[in-house]
Amino acid sequence: MDYEVSRKVWDSQIPVQFTLQAGGPLGDPLPYYTMLPRFTYLALALPKVLSSFNRRENGETILPEKVHLEVNGAPVKMYIPVGVIYDQLNQKNLESEGILEIHVRTSQPAPVDFQMVSVDSMRAMFCQTVKEADYLKTKAEVTSSLMKEDMPQLWQSVVNNNFDEYWGMIQKLMDPKDGKDFLHVPLRVYVKNQPFKQALITVKHPDGSLRTIGDAVSEILQFSTSSEASTPTSESSGTSSSEASSQEERRLISHGIDVPRHTPLIFAAKNLSYPDNFVHIVIAEAR
């Protein structure tokens, strides 16, 4: 792992505006502005936001169970890193310093496709994701040898935005002592309006050369298209010319930057992963 890169990735933040549409005689409170680390989750940010809104005198106390969150009029997933939410929204104009606008709504019932995620639930999801990542990397060798307090410590480093604590833990997960190569690389790919995509991707090609992040993303996207084919037997017949050209134009965004396609996958895994140990890549169309 590269300390400088990891530190930069950890330190990057995004501006977020929360607005509350409460109605009632007091009208809406002023928006709440904050800078959030890219690695954090809305599930973690929400309690602070609500306590700010709840400081109004004579205002009705707003409970987390009673609200739902929207971005651009659509329910937002509280359990994916805010950096990924930001990169998904900002695809069109990445160079402009946009603010992520989150609307906190109190209207009942909440839309059925919104799901509130509590801090407890978020912690459980985070730990499962780290374990899954380790299963991909080492068949869970590292996590099963970790001490009981190690996993909560990794989570606490995220909650408290404590890089030093994180750095101590993440090296155990990313640079295992036995020095073995990762079996597979934990990588999730986000295409607009679809669930994230994931597949078993090895660090190297069968010929021993290093797989690049561009290769890996193309394979994941191709795999998910072929498994959606009308019958399980109809294998996709290779990359058609239109797909090939779209591959060239496709931009791979992570942590707000265009990740060069030739970046070795193993470098991305070790240095560009979020604290959940997955590399999260948002697909954007070429400008």
Partner 1 sequence: MLSEEKFREELQKFVEKMSENKWNWQLKENGKYARETHLETLASGKIVSADIHILYNFTYQVPTLWFNFFENNGTPIPFDEVVRDILKIPESEESDSIRQRISHYEHPILGVLYYNIHPCNTEKIMKELKTDDSYLISWLSVYGQQVGLRLPDSLKLH
| Binding site residues, partner 1, CB under 8 A | 65, 77, 79, 109-110, 112-113, 115, 117-118, 120-121, 124-125, 127-128, 131-132, 135-136, 140, 194-196, 198-200, 227-232
Is 205 exposed, middle or buried (CB count within 10 Å of its CB: 0-12, 13-18, 19+)?
exposed
In the complex, the smallest distance separating the C-beta of residue 234 from partner 1, rounded to whole angstroms, is: 10
**In this structure, are residues 41 and 80 in contact, taking their beta carbons and an 8 Å threshold?**
yes
Among residues 24 and 47, whose Cβ is nearest to partner 1?
Answer: 47
21: its two tokens: 């549409």
Q: CB-wise, 118 or 236, nearer to partner 1?
A: 118
Distance in Å, CB of 3 to partner 1, minimum: 29
Three-state secondary-structure class, residue 282: strand
Instruction: Give the residue with the Cβ less far from partner 1, 65 or 95.
Output: 65
Q: How far is the CB of 165 from partner 1 (least distance, A)?
A: 21
What is the tally of helices (H) and strands (E) in the chain? 10, 9
Q: SS3 for 212?
A: strand
CB of 186 to partner 1, least distance (A): 9
Closest separation between CB of residue 77 and partner 1, Å? 7
Tell me whether residue 59 or residue 75 sits nearer to partner 1 (CB atom): 75
Specify the residue, 117 or 213, whose C-beta has the smaller distance to partner 1: 117
Q: How far is the CB of 183 from partner 1 (least distance, A)?
A: 11
Q: Whose Cβ is closer to partner 1: residue 6's or residue 218's?
A: 218
Query: Residue 148: is it exposed, middle or buried by C-beta count within 10 angstroms (0-12/13-18/19+)?
Result: exposed
CB-CB neighbours of 95 under 10 Å: 7
Q: Which positions ≥6 away from 126 have C-beta within 8 Å? A: 41, 155, 158, 275, 276
Identify residue 102 by its one-letter amino acid code.
Answer: I
| Least gap, CB of 54 to partner 1 (angstroms) | 21
Residue 163 tokens, joined: 């890089």
Cβ proximity to partner 1, 77 vs 105, nearer residue: 77
Nearer to partner 1, 152 or 260 (CB): 152
The answer to whether residues 277 and 182 touch, using CB atoms and an 8 Å cutoff, is no
Query: Three-state DSSP class for 90?
Result: coil
Q: With beta carbons less than 8 A apart as the criterion, state whether 38 and 86 touch.
A: yes
Q: Closest approach of Cβ 57 to partner 1, in Å? A: 31
Contacts of 15 (CB under 8 A, 6+ apart): 33, 34, 35, 97, 99, 100
